[in-house]
Structure 1
Amino acid sequence: MRYCFALDLRDDPDLIARYEELHREVWPDVVRHIREHGVSTMEIYRLGTRLFMVMETDDGRYDADRMARAAESNPAVRQWEDLMWSFQAPTPWTPAGQKWVPMNRIFDLQQQA
């Protein structure tokens, strides 16, 4: 299954550059956590301060709630998420207490005649 999410970055060129630098080599424990929870691919794109993440999962293994609970008990993942939040900002549509917000697909070429 494919999921798409949005999140913003703080509008600071130095912070954005550092955020991108950190994502060139994500901590191994974080990568392992993502893969162990059924995420088969993940890409993050940026336009200005807006981030867009595309994530594909193994349907039988991925469970967002289970992944979130496991993240809370993993010190490396918690540390990474705390660090990332120093660069990130909620979108105007982000509910309180959330970070990445699911996006709604509005067009699919394969469904067109």
Structure 2
Amino acid sequence: MVIGLKPDKIEQYKQLHANAWPGVLEQLNESNIRNYSIFLQKIEGRYYLFSYFEYVGDNYQRDMKKMAADSVTQEWWKLTDSYQIPLDSRKQGEWWTTMEEVFHHE
């Protein structure tokens, strides 16, 4: 997934994730999210976040609804969303833009 990042929020975003809230991390685990990484890159003068995770559950929609209903996660998203710039290319209902996987090797 990809999303823009406000240039004046880069350091705050890094600090926040360097000290991620325990409740948010617990919810990720409970929602069957593993190996979650977020990368930052400046491209043509703009900053972008790229995220990757592995889902290990059996009902993605249910787990994402559970995560979205969690009050700690809602507070985290309220804070982090204010740092981000959604892309015009995102699908309706998306905050982060999903990307098409064109290659995978295990």
**Cα RMSD for the two superposed structures:** 1.7
How do 1:67-106 residues align onto structure 2 when only pairs under 5 Å count? 67-106=63-102
**Structure 1: which 5+ residue stretches go unaligned?**
none
Checking the alignment, whether the CA contact within 8 Å between 2:31 and 2:67 is kept in structure 1 is no
- In the alignment, structure 1 residue 41 sits paired with structure 2 residue 24: no
Q: 1:57 to 1:95 in 2, by over 3 A?
A: closer
Q: Name the CA distance, whole Å, in 2 between partners of 1:17 and 1:55.
A: 23
Identity across matched positions, percent:
24
**C-alpha deviation, 1:96, in angstroms:** 4.1
CA contact (8 A) 1:37 1:63 kept: no
Query: 1:83 deviation in Å?
Result: 0.5
Q: What are the superposed Cα offsets for residues 37-85 of structure 1, whole Å, 9 maximum, x if unpaired?
A: 1112101101021111110121xx2533223321332111100001111
> Unpaired runs of 5+ in structure 2?
none
Measure, in 2, the Cα distance between the counterparts of 1:105 and 1:71.
Answer: 24
TM-score, length-normalised on structure 2? 0.83
